Amino acid sequence: MWQFFEFESDFVASLRCIPMQVRYKLDTCGVKLKLQHWHSFSELQRHLLIDLSCETDAEVIAYREKLRSLVWETCQDCPKDLPIDQVPAWMQVNIIPESVLAHTQELNVAIALSQWQSLTSLQRFALIKLSTSNHENNNFLPALTEFGILIK
Protein backbone atom coordinates (compact mmCIF):
# COMPACT_ATOMS: atom_id res chain seq x y z
CA MET A 1 0.00 0.00 0.00
CA TRP A 2 1.42 3.34 -1.03
CA GLN A 3 1.59 6.02 1.57
CA PHE A 4 2.46 9.44 0.32
CA PHE A 5 2.30 12.46 2.56
CA GLU A 6 0.46 15.65 1.68
CA PHE A 7 3.72 17.59 2.01
CA GLU A 8 5.05 15.47 -0.89
CA SER A 9 2.11 16.32 -3.17
CA ASP A 10 4.11 18.70 -5.37
CA PHE A 11 6.24 15.85 -6.73
CA VAL A 12 4.33 12.61 -6.11
CA ALA A 13 2.52 12.54 -9.46
CA SER A 14 5.80 12.71 -11.36
CA LEU A 15 7.94 10.94 -8.73
CA ARG A 16 10.72 13.41 -9.56
CA CYS A 17 11.93 13.16 -5.95
CA ILE A 18 12.41 10.09 -3.82
CA PRO A 19 9.30 9.74 -1.64
CA MET A 20 9.66 9.32 2.12
CA GLN A 21 8.42 5.74 2.02
CA VAL A 22 11.30 4.81 -0.32
CA ARG A 23 13.79 6.83 1.73
CA TYR A 24 12.58 4.88 4.78
CA LYS A 25 13.32 1.63 2.95
CA LEU A 26 16.75 2.91 1.87
CA ASP A 27 17.74 3.60 5.47
CA THR A 28 16.28 0.25 6.49
CA CYS A 29 18.28 -1.71 3.92
CA GLY A 30 21.42 0.44 4.15
CA VAL A 31 21.72 1.82 0.61
CA LYS A 32 22.54 5.40 -0.39
CA LEU A 33 20.50 6.10 -3.52
CA LYS A 34 21.46 9.24 -5.40
CA LEU A 35 18.78 11.36 -7.01
CA GLN A 36 20.49 10.74 -10.38
CA HIS A 37 19.97 7.00 -9.82
CA TRP A 38 16.28 7.60 -9.05
CA HIS A 39 15.94 9.71 -12.20
CA SER A 40 17.51 6.95 -14.30
CA PHE A 41 14.79 4.50 -13.25
CA SER A 42 11.72 4.04 -15.39
CA GLU A 43 8.32 4.81 -13.92
CA LEU A 44 7.74 1.07 -13.58
CA GLN A 45 11.02 0.64 -11.67
CA ARG A 46 10.18 3.53 -9.34
CA HIS A 47 6.77 2.01 -8.63
CA LEU A 48 8.44 -1.34 -7.98
CA LEU A 49 10.63 0.26 -5.30
CA ILE A 50 7.54 1.85 -3.79
CA ASP A 51 5.61 -1.44 -3.86
CA LEU A 52 8.27 -3.82 -2.57
CA SER A 53 8.02 -4.55 1.12
CA CYS A 54 11.09 -3.96 3.27
CA GLU A 55 10.10 -5.07 6.76
CA THR A 56 11.25 -8.60 7.56
CA ASP A 57 14.93 -9.57 7.45
CA ALA A 58 14.35 -11.48 4.22
CA GLU A 59 12.48 -8.55 2.65
CA VAL A 60 15.23 -6.12 3.64
CA ILE A 61 17.84 -8.33 1.95
CA ALA A 62 15.66 -8.78 -1.15
CA TYR A 63 14.96 -5.02 -1.36
CA ARG A 64 18.66 -4.22 -1.06
CA GLU A 65 19.58 -6.71 -3.78
CA LYS A 66 16.83 -5.50 -6.12
CA LEU A 67 17.79 -1.87 -5.59
CA ARG A 68 21.47 -2.54 -6.20
CA SER A 69 20.68 -4.51 -9.37
CA LEU A 70 18.41 -1.72 -10.67
CA VAL A 71 21.14 0.87 -10.13
CA TRP A 72 23.62 -1.36 -11.94
CA GLU A 73 21.19 -2.04 -14.82
CA THR A 74 20.34 1.61 -15.37
CA CYS A 75 23.55 3.43 -14.41
CA GLN A 76 26.34 0.84 -14.39
CA ASP A 77 27.07 2.12 -10.93
CA CYS A 78 27.12 0.59 -7.46
CA PRO A 79 25.29 2.59 -4.81
CA LYS A 80 27.15 3.24 -1.57
CA ASP A 81 26.28 1.38 1.58
CA LEU A 82 24.85 3.13 4.60
CA PRO A 83 25.27 1.89 8.15
CA ILE A 84 22.13 0.16 9.36
CA ASP A 85 21.09 1.21 12.84
CA GLN A 86 19.74 -1.82 14.68
CA VAL A 87 17.47 0.43 16.75
CA PRO A 88 16.81 3.47 14.55
CA ALA A 89 15.54 6.67 16.14
CA TRP A 90 12.20 6.44 14.35
CA MET A 91 11.51 3.11 16.08
CA GLN A 92 12.23 4.56 19.52
CA VAL A 93 8.93 5.79 20.89
CA ASN A 94 10.11 6.77 24.38
CA ILE A 95 12.47 9.53 23.31
CA ILE A 96 12.09 12.36 20.82
CA PRO A 97 15.29 12.83 18.81
CA GLU A 98 17.24 16.00 19.53
CA SER A 99 16.99 17.17 15.91
CA VAL A 100 13.18 17.08 16.08
CA LEU A 101 13.10 18.85 19.45
CA ALA A 102 15.55 21.51 18.29
CA HIS A 103 13.62 22.16 15.11
CA THR A 104 10.27 22.41 16.88
CA GLN A 105 11.82 24.84 19.38
CA GLU A 106 13.16 26.98 16.52
CA LEU A 107 9.59 27.19 15.22
CA ASN A 108 8.16 27.87 18.72
CA VAL A 109 6.16 24.65 18.54
CA ALA A 110 5.96 21.99 21.22
CA ILE A 111 5.82 18.28 20.63
CA ALA A 112 4.78 16.06 23.52
CA LEU A 113 6.11 12.58 24.01
CA SER A 114 2.55 11.27 23.72
CA GLN A 115 2.27 12.90 20.29
CA TRP A 116 5.57 11.34 19.20
CA GLN A 117 4.35 7.96 20.42
CA SER A 118 1.09 8.26 18.48
CA LEU A 119 2.92 8.67 15.16
CA THR A 120 3.65 5.78 12.82
CA SER A 121 7.29 4.81 12.33
CA LEU A 122 7.13 6.35 8.82
CA GLN A 123 5.84 9.65 10.25
CA ARG A 124 8.58 9.66 12.90
CA PHE A 125 11.12 8.89 10.16
CA ALA A 126 9.83 11.80 8.09
CA LEU A 127 10.12 14.26 10.99
CA ILE A 128 13.66 13.10 11.69
CA LYS A 129 14.68 13.46 8.05
CA LEU A 130 12.98 16.83 7.73
CA SER A 131 14.68 18.13 10.87
CA THR A 132 18.25 17.23 10.02
CA SER A 133 20.58 20.08 9.17
CA ASN A 134 21.64 18.64 5.82
CA HIS A 135 18.07 18.37 4.52
CA GLU A 136 15.98 21.09 2.96
CA ASN A 137 13.42 21.31 5.73
CA ASN A 138 10.68 23.44 4.15
CA ASN A 139 8.28 20.58 4.75
CA PHE A 140 8.87 20.20 8.49
CA LEU A 141 6.09 22.58 9.52
CA PRO A 142 3.60 21.16 6.97
CA ALA A 143 4.45 17.67 8.23
CA LEU A 144 3.76 18.69 11.84
CA THR A 145 0.38 20.00 10.74
CA GLU A 146 -0.39 16.94 8.61
CA PHE A 147 0.50 14.61 11.49
CA GLY A 148 -1.79 16.49 13.90
CA ILE A 149 0.99 17.86 16.10
CA LEU A 150 0.40 21.45 15.11
CA ILE A 151 -3.24 22.46 14.86
CA LYS A 152 -3.98 25.40 12.58
Model pLDDT for residues 111-122, shown as the tens digit of each residue: 999 999 999 999
Give me the pLDDT at residue 97, please.
97
Measured between its terminal Cα atoms, the distance across the chain in Å is: 29
Contact 113, 73 (CB under 8 A): no
What pLDDT, on a 0 to 100 scale, did the predictor assign at position 151? 72
* pLDDT score at 2: 64
Q: Which residues, at least 6 apart from 127, have a Cβ–Cβ distance to it below 8 Å?
A: 100, 119, 140, 143, 144, 147
The residues of the chain scoring below 70 in pLDDT are 1-2, 133-137, 152
The answer to whether residues 50 and 2 touch, using CB atoms and an 8 Å cutoff, is yes
